[in-house]
Amino acid sequence: MSQTIGVPRETFAGEKRVATVPDVVEKLVKLGFGVTVETGAGAAANFDDASYEAAGARIAASAAELYAGSDLIFKVRAPTPDEIALMKPGSTLVSFVWPAQNPELMQAMAARKLTVLAIDSLPRQLSRAQKMDALTSMASISGYRAVIEAANAFGRFFNGQVTAAGKIPPAKVFVAGAGVAGLAAIGTAANLGAIVRANDTRAEVADQVVSLGGEFVKVDYEEEGSGGGGYAKVMSEGFQKAQREMYAQQAKDADIIITTALIPGKPAPKLITAEMVKSMKPGSVIVDMAGEQGGNCELTVAGEAVVRHGVTIIGYTDLVSRLAKQSSTLYSTNLLRVTEELCKTKDGVINVNMDDDAIRGLTVVKDGEITWPPPPPKLPAAAPPKPAAAAAVPAKKSGHGHGAGEPASAKSLAIIFGVGALLFWLVGAFAPASFLSHFTVFVLACFVGYMVVWNVTPALHTPLMSVTNAISSIIAVGALIQVAPPLGAGTEGRPGGLILGLAVLALTLTAVNMFGGFAVTRRMLAMFRK
């Protein structure tokens, strides 16, 4: 028998999101599930009850009715004690939970014999987990919204302008933390025309900052800041001191500061001190995206926008909810992907497979037993290093393109030259004089062909082949000798009509090869120029 997914109305103050939107309801129904939505659940996100019914959902008149008839609950915010009491024992909850910060909540859900999948506990280092990563989806929205809130509180343009009334300089924005939210803020501020600088404890994000139009500001202290799973770690006191000095300099220059620093399971680090706020220009703005976890600024008030020392400090905790329709759509898609992993048979019945690394990471309570924290996921093993013997093979190759071994010894070279000299002496002693000029051209052609073609690295053959063809057209020398024999040869040295015609044809083709080769080379090399 298929299971029913229940989507309640969020009761957290100011929360406008809904866990499932009508478009996703249709896909859940195709997976075999029944879907029940509490009346008014999507109203704050501009999804009315009629749209849910049209998508195949049933509307429940109350939360008690919804929870009583649901086997699987989709929520945005962690449930309250009253909501837990309404859930059926043995039912499954998928929601943000934050198990490290809510031990009492974990105990209450375990006592109710629930199975709980915390969407915030997804092992993000798994590549296939990206489609289920609601943290990334929500962070990108909050980073965008942070810039919008900053622009609303800021008294000037973001972009510089030259008007008849005077020149307006661009706003200077500093972003502390270049995670998903920080990168979204950087891209948004840069697109609005601001001068954007950013810092992060993880040096590997510097290229991402630059690619979005920002400038990465490095702390003058060498220490690795990656904490695994895409998060930063708590840095040493030495690093923090150097970081505070850098932040103090940026605060004096910046018009807008956006802070995004969070450490899983710990309070938000204090990055902006009261003294830094005092040093900022009047009318400046700070958007503290970590307000709900204590804030990155000492003067932040969670959920409010306050003015301190002439600086507006925004500590809103509902940035994502202020774009409720967009965030609900992305979040519901993330939950759909989780459901697809839970119901691979598409029969409307979930299977919480604890052998699946992604599902195991999500599951913080299983049938009333707390299973958090999960063991580290089994990541693919790194490729084994190549054997030393195999690595040494390329070192034996000569510097020439087609050389396969060590350079020839002096003895071998002496033998080769001796044999070659003997052959040339025999040709010169017994061959007719008319043959020697042709033989000389042939030898020169072979020598030039070897030095230019065979002696070039194979990887360069494609861009250089046109040049080598042009140079190898040494045959033109032979054709010219046939067309115009040396002076003093008289009429007896003139070639026959057939030979003359062939020589002229050779000259024509060679000219095309030479000039065409150089033309093609120029076009090919132009592809590699900026």
Q: Please tell me whether residues 194 and 60 are part of one structural domain.
A: no
Q: Please tell me whether residues 166 and 292 are part of one structural domain.
A: yes
CATH number at residue 169: 3.40.50.720
Could you tell me if 182 and 175 are in contact, meaning their C-beta atoms sit under 8 angstroms apart? yes
* More confident: 238 or 456: 238
Report pLDDT for 453.
59
Report pLDDT for 379.
66
* More confident: 468 or 236: 236
Give the HSE-up count for residue 317: Cα atoms under 13 Å, Cβ half-sphere. Answer: 15
Q: How far apart are alpha carbons 133 and 124 in whole angstroms?
A: 7
Q: Please tell me whether residues 366 and 416 are part of one structural domain.
A: no
In-domain check, residue 375: no
Q: How many CB atoms lie within 10 A of CB 450?
A: 11
Q: Please tell me whether residues 352 and 283 are part of one structural domain.
A: no
Place of tokens 């009583």: 68
DSSP code of 272?
B
Mean pLDDT within 240-252: 93
Taking the whole predicted model, whether its pTM rises above 0.85 is answered as no
Q: Please tell me whether residues 99 and 197 are part of one structural domain.
A: no
Q: How far apart are alpha carbons 315 and 318 in whole angstroms?
A: 9
The DSSP H or E segment spanning 198 is strand 195-199
In-domain check, residue 516: yes
Reported as a pLDDT band with limits 50, 70 and 90, residue 461 is low
In-domain check, residue 387: no
Report pLDDT for 395.
47
Tens of pLDDT, residue by residue over 313-363, are 999 999 999 999 999 999 999 999 999 999 999 999 999 999 999 999 999
φ, ψ at 329 (rounded to 5°): -65, -45
In-domain check, residue 27: yes
The DSSP H or E segment spanning 196 is strand 195-199
Mean pLDDT within 239-256: 94
φ, ψ at 297 (rounded to 5°): -110, 140
* More confident: 128 or 340: 340
Taking each helix axis from N to C end, the angle separating 410-430 and 433-449, rounded to the nearest 10 degrees, works out to: 150
User: How many structural domains comprise the chain?
Assistant: 3
Collapse the DSSP code of 375 into the 3-class scheme (helix H, G, I; strand E, B; otherwise coil) and give the result.
Answer: coil
Q: Please tell me whether residues 111 and 249 are part of one structural domain.
A: no
Q: How far apart are alpha carbons 274 and 11 in whole angstroms?
A: 35
Report pLDDT for 396.
47
Q: Please tell me whether residues 90 and 187 are part of one structural domain.
A: no
Has residue 411 got a pLDDT over 90?
no
- What does each C-alpha distance from 374 to 104, 225, 334, 354, 359 come to in angstroms? 18, 23, 21, 10, 10
Q: Please tell me whether residues 360 and 400 are part of one structural domain.
A: no
Place of tokens 């809103």: 316
Report pLDDT for 377.
81
What's the length of the chain?
A: 530
Has residue 228 got a pLDDT over 90?
no
Report pLDDT for 327.
98
Has residue 107 got a pLDDT over 90?
yes
Place of tokens 């003093």: 488
How confident is the prediction for the chain on average, in pLDDT?
A: 85
- Domain end (from 294, 318, 342): 318
Q: Please tell me whether residues 306 and 338 are part of one structural domain.
A: no
Has residue 436 got a pLDDT over 70?
no
Q: Please tell me whether residues 329 and 313 are part of one structural domain.
A: no
Could you tell me if 200 and 207 are in contact, meaning their C-beta atoms sit under 8 angstroms apart? no
Q: Please tell me whether residues 57 and 92 are part of one structural domain.
A: yes
Q: Which of 91, 120, 50 is nearest to 368 (CA)?
A: 91
Give the HSE-up count for residue 318: Cα atoms under 13 Å, Cβ half-sphere. Answer: 14
Q: How many CB atoms lie within 10 A of CB 193?
A: 15
Collapse the DSSP code of 208 into the 3-class scheme (helix H, G, I; strand E, B; otherwise coil) and give the result.
Answer: helix
Position 528, amino acid: F
Q: How far apart are alpha carbons 125 and 78 in whole angstroms?
A: 24
In-domain check, residue 419: yes
Position 266, amino acid: K
Q: Which domain holds residue 466?
A: 392-526
* More confident: 271 or 411: 271
Alpha-helical regions (H) of 363-406? 388-392
Taking each helix axis from N to C end, the angle separating 433-449 and 475-483, rounded to the nearest 10 degrees, works out to: 150
Strands annotated E in 223-304: 226-228, 231-232, 256-259, 285-288
